[in-house]
Structure 1
Amino acid sequence: MSDRSVEELLHEHVLGAHSPCESLLASGVFPEGWVDRYLDLLASVATIYSGQAMLPRKSVWTVQFASWYLPLRYEAWCAQGQRSNSETIGQLARLRIPSELFITDGLGHQSRVDDRLEPDSVAKR
């Protein structure tokens, strides 16, 4: 691997020169191996921040982009009258679930929500 951080590699993979946006818009498919590389990078970032109270904004934005905006790119391709591609649909599902779990604390991280508020104290407000 290079001297760049895994967070930078993930960002470059999603939004930089390796971004699948053009491929999804032009042909409705991911570049070969893109989803597997994304999942590997995401797992590395998740490991680095496991147990941390906060996540870096750039990493959250990158993962959120992959989870939300890549499906929109695919939907734009479909809206041009293209037939749906079951392989791409499956790949979108494969990347979306771990992405959402990373953002929402589903990978076993400590809670990123302030635990000082008990349900009863919230109900009394």
Structure 2
Amino acid sequence: MIGYVTIGVSDMERAKAFYSDLLGDLGAKVLLDMGRIAFIGKSMREPMLAVCTPFNEEPNHPGNGNMLAIHPGSKEAVDAHYKKAIDLGATCDGEPGQRIPNQFYGAYVKDPDGNKLAFFYFG
């Protein structure tokens, strides 16, 4: 159903490196780079993340209440992706932990541009 999600960034090279490194072990890479926008994912036929400098050439800013949620496959992978994001320059916005008993495990970070990411596992 979802083709891609786009987030605004201030530095394309930094954003491409951050997300390619962060999501590389999930099989993601830059699939299409058009200068001011790049698509990152496993294939053009699966949901992707697009990073871009805003079309109107105004400064980017993260939306309050907007969040990109990534499902790495297990609680251990949530922990690993959280740590990796921090190591790549993200800031903590909620350490890994059980949020809803026996249902939802999650961790939250903000990328170098302030965009909020969640890593989650149901079960």
User: What is the TM-score normalised by the length of structure 2?
Assistant: 0.28
Q: Which has the larger radius of gyration?
A: 1
Name whichever structure is richer in helix by fraction. Answer: 1
- Which of 1 and 2 has higher RCO (CA within 8 Å, sep 6+)? 1
Q: Normalising by structure 1, what TM-score? A: 0.28
